[in-house]
Amino acid sequence: MVTTSQPLAVQAGLRVLWQGGNAVDAAIASVAVLGVTEPMSTGIGGDLFALVYPARERRVYALNASGPAPRQISLPELREKGYERMPQDGALSVTVPGALRGWEALLERFGTKPLEELLDPAIRYAEHGFPVLEITSQRWRQHEDKLKRHEAAARTYLPGGRAPQPGEVFRNPPLARTLRAIAHEGVDAFYEGAIARAIVTELERLGSPLSLEDLRAFRPEWGEPISTTYRGVEVLEHPPNGQGLIALLALNILEGFDLSSQGPTAEFYHRVIEALKLAFADGKRYIADPRFAEVPVAKLLSKAYAAERRALIGERALEEGPPGALEGGTVYVTVVDEERNVVSLIESLFMPFGSGIAVEETGIVLQNRGALFSLDPEHPNRLEPGKRPYHTIIPAMALREKEPWLSFGVVGGFMQPQGHVQILCHLLDHGMDPQEAVEAPRVRYYGGRKVAVEPLLLKAIQEELAQRGHELIAGDGNFGGAQLIAIDPETGMLAGASDPRKDGCAMGF
């Protein structure tokens, strides 16, 4: 089974499985197509995180393919130039793109198919075109102004001066040529060859210090997932510099409440909002690149610490979530294959169309992950040369008796851990089936007492949340996009769910 946010990408993954490839092969074929069909969300100019469960090894691996800041960047220099916070787009927001090295690492360790074969569908859609779907077209139109600020971006992604309408066929011949070069020459073509020189030349022209050596030196990192238990289920998230820690912190807090007796009521949503408020306070205080700063994961995830944080939650909304005192634009794909290998993979440019910079004659849009660095010299997530920023993308899994039960992800920046928590609560506390859990109305915490609620949430629930002190605001419409596959522990049957907030689907055979 394959589930993701675009049907052509699902088909590409299914084709690989049908032809004997495994879950890793299929996930890469799917995400490569997504880089063509959802160019505002992902592409080879972005980053990738993945959790992989190889059935024969019966363990989960975490892959961090997020790129670092340039080696010549300087926090003091940016502050001297008047920056009080990192630029949200443009050249200074660009970090080393990690996705392609991530594909390479996944294939070298677990793949069975050559990259050239897996890129064939993406190359074909880039060269010959694909019909743009409704939600993709809507998001494309919302960011026309951003693309117009950069000549190559506008020329590549605004044919005729505008975003494609639903049903219009969009072609990207420059990206097809780039993908074909990578297919024939390997990933080094991107990090060391003519493509690398084109990236550096464009960024240098726009004032970025990112260099050929920055690209050439990058390698992803294998590690172990972090986890907690919730209602007897082991929930696995990618470790920092990702924000999966926030989902686990919130689940630990919520475990002390009896949510099953409440159902999705105002009381339930109040508890979820408050738990997330406290979890985000800790996440934004402590999450950073662990190569540069200690992230006290074990202390934060202790059940005793969760009890302390839970005690702060009352019947009224907290003004702000204080961090606890301690000692010391995205796509998601999940695949399960015949042998029950499982891949949970997420890839992103961060904000829609990333930095807004497209590299001339390549079709590549560069991410703006550097926007999440802090310019506070005392913050663990401060900008430093060669450092990876706080990262929003988080693939997840959940295990029962050490066997995969759920592979899932939710796109949407800071909505991601919030979506993880709400979906798991609906599954484990409210007894919903996978599709019901994905479709259930969501809330999104923004900061302070500000919370956006989906219009489908019952009016009575919204009114009670307001009475409890939550400031209900009109959100940006981004309540995430979830994809998941559940594996029945008794029969082994697969149940897929795909979010109607996106254009995708779940399909299997």
Residue-wise pLDDT for 342-390, tens only, equals 999 999 999 999 999 999 999 999 999 999 999 999 999 999 999 999 9
CA nearest to 374, candidates 66, 96, 69, 65: 69
pTM score, two decimals? 0.96
Tell me the CA end-to-end span of the chain in Å, nearest whole number. Answer: 7
Cα separation, 290 vs 195, in Å, equals 30
Write down the residue that tokens 């662990």 correspond to.
290
Cα separation, 447 vs 445, in Å, equals 6
In the sheet that holds 450-453, the strands lie side by side as 443-447, 450-453, 471-473
Q: Which residue in the list 136, 330, 362, 392 is annotated as catalytic?
A: 330
* pLDDT per residue as tens digits for the range 92-104: 999 999 999 999 9
Q: How confident is the model at residue 324 (pLDDT cuts 50, 70, 90)?
A: low
Reported CATH class of domain 225-328+392-482: mainly alpha
Cα separation, 480 vs 503, in Å, equals 12
CA distances from 340 to 53, 55, 151, 358 (A): 8, 6, 46, 38
Q: What DSSP string runs through 13-30?
A: HHHHHHTT--HHHHHHHH
Q: Which pLDDT value is given to residue 261?
A: 75
Residues contacting residue 162 through CB under 8 Å, at least 6 positions apart: 141, 144
Cα separation, 377 vs 356, in Å, equals 27
Per-residue pLDDT averaged across 147-154, rounded? 96
Q: Does the pLDDT at position 263 exceed 90?
A: no
Whole-number percent of the chain with pLDDT over 70: 98
- Residue spans of the domains in the chain: they are 2-222+330-372, 225-328+392-482
* pLDDT per residue as tens digits for the range 445-481: 999 999 999 998 999 999 999 999 999 987 667 899 9
Task: Give the tokens for residue 64.
Answer: 């961090």
Q: Does the pLDDT at position 326 exceed 60?
A: no
Torsion of CA 415, 416, 417, 419, to 10 degrees: 80
Q: Which pLDDT value is given to residue 323?
A: 60
Q: What are phi and psi of 270, to 5 degrees?
A: -60, -45
Residues contacting residue 304 through CB under 8 Å, at least 6 positions apart: none
The percent helix, strand, coil of the chain (3-state, each to 5) is 40, 20, 40
Cα separation, 351 vs 40, in Å, equals 8
Of 262 and 150, the structure prediction assigns the larger pLDDT to 150
Residues contacting residue 312 through CB under 8 Å, at least 6 positions apart: 274, 278, 318
Q: Is 330 among the catalytic positions?
A: yes
Residues contacting residue 459 through CB under 8 Å, at least 6 positions apart: none
Q: Does the pLDDT at position 395 exceed 70?
A: yes
* pLDDT per residue as tens digits for the range 119-149: 999 999 999 999 999 999 999 999 999 999 9
What region does 140 belong to: left with phi over 0, alpha with psi -120 to 50, or beta? alpha
Write down the residue that tokens 């440019």 correspond to.
349
Are 327 and 310 contacting, i.e. CB atoms less than 8 angstroms apart?
no
